[in-house]
Amino acid sequence: MAAAIRLRFRRRSAIPGFGLALGYTLFYLSLIVLIPLAALLLKASGLGLRGIFEIATEPRVLAALRLSFGLSLAAAFVDSIFGLVIAWVLMRYRFPGRKLLDAAVDLPFALPTAVAGIALATLYAPNGWLGAVLLSFGIKVAFTPLGIFIALMFVGLPFAVRTVQPLIAEIDREVEEVSATLGASRAQTLRRVILPMLTPAMLTGFALAFARSVSEYGSVIFIAGNLPYVSEIAPLLIVIKLEEYNYAGATGIAAIMLAVSFVTLLAINLLQAWTRRFAHA
């Protein structure tokens, strides 16, 4: 009798039953994600593979796609490295202003993208506070691909930090002490003990930062310069096609971005699953 009561108590849940929860999940996911993506693919299917290939091989489209995906991958990689450092400092050290610094990490989430873009353009413009100093060394940031790179790092950094922080909090300091007592240096402890535990979270942060960067528009157009073949991103080119009433071209570019993003994120997820198995082996 007592065992039956305990079993019944375990089965109780604050959330409704599996059937209702699953139905709501499928409905909400379909309404917000699957149906819009299906509509995009349906529209793109009208172009045919030949039409999509012709759009993808246009020099201007190729340049925009190369710029968007190349800089997004680079920005996500840099964010993953520095995001780990920032998360480690915030979780392992106590210093004045730590909570304020921790809150500042989420600023890219809170700021409207247009505000962020204007702030970055003002800061890195040739007559801006940082732009003027960098220009004296021959480095121009605003209205160049370098400005796009900085904007993408800005919007993607919170993902890299927040995905790693919980795992750092779970790592016991005794693990590092045991590694030190066995004769390992700090570099060896970091490479063989800490990083294997944090790599899956770092890959998650990388994927999220990459996805955010590829789709970024508002904060980039103010600092990019938007010159075709030089500093024109793919999302801006989609908007330009729509303003020209070239719906086929806009749909084709969007479908190409969706396909490339899906393949890239799938590869990252497979790598993440492999690193998890390797870490637990």
How far is it, in rounded angstroms, from Cα 247 to Cα 163? Answer: 37
Backbone angles phi, psi at 137, to 5 degrees: -100, 10
Q: Who's near 134: CB < 8 A, 6+ residues apart? A: 124, 140, 141
Residue 2 has pLDDT above 70, yes or no: no
Q: Is the dihedral of CA 215, 217, 221, 226 positive or negative?
A: positive
| pLDDT, greater one: 206 or 1 | 206
- pLDDT tens sequence across 127-169: 988 999 999 999 999 989 999 999 999 999 999 999 999 888 8
Query: What band does 80 get if pLDDT is binned at 50, 70 and 90?
Result: very high
Residue found under tokens 């700090």:
186
Helices (H), 30-106: 35-45, 48-56, 59-92, 98-104
Residue 230 phi/psi, 5-degree rounding, is -120, -60
pTM of the model: 0.84
Helix (H) or strand (E) holding 5: helix 2-11
Distances (CA, A) of 249 to 58, 198, 229: 10, 42, 17
- In whole angstroms, give the CA distance from residue 121 to residue 117: 6
Q: Show the 3-state SS of 96-123.
A: CCHHHHHHHCCHHHHCCHHHHHHHHHHH
Structure-token match 């330009």, residue found: 240
Q: What is the dihedral of CA 164, 114, 73, 153, to 10 degrees?
A: -50
Crossing angle between the packed helical segments 59-92 and 145-170, to the nearest 10 degrees: 40
Instruction: Please report which confidence band the pLDDT of residue 9 belongs to, taking 50, 70 and 90 as the band edges.
Output: very low
Rounded distance, CA 121 to CA 223, Å? 5
Sorted by where each starts, the structural domains of the chain and their CATH numbers stand as: 18-57 (no CATH), 59-280 (1.10.3720.10)
Higher-pLDDT residue of 157 and 185 is: 157
CA-based nearest residue to 234, from 204, 199, 258: 258
Joined tokens for residue 74: 């680079």
Q: Are 151 and 145 in contact (CB under 8 A)?
A: no
- The per-residue pLDDT for range 89-115, each reduced to its tens digit, is 999 888 898 999 999 999 888 888 888
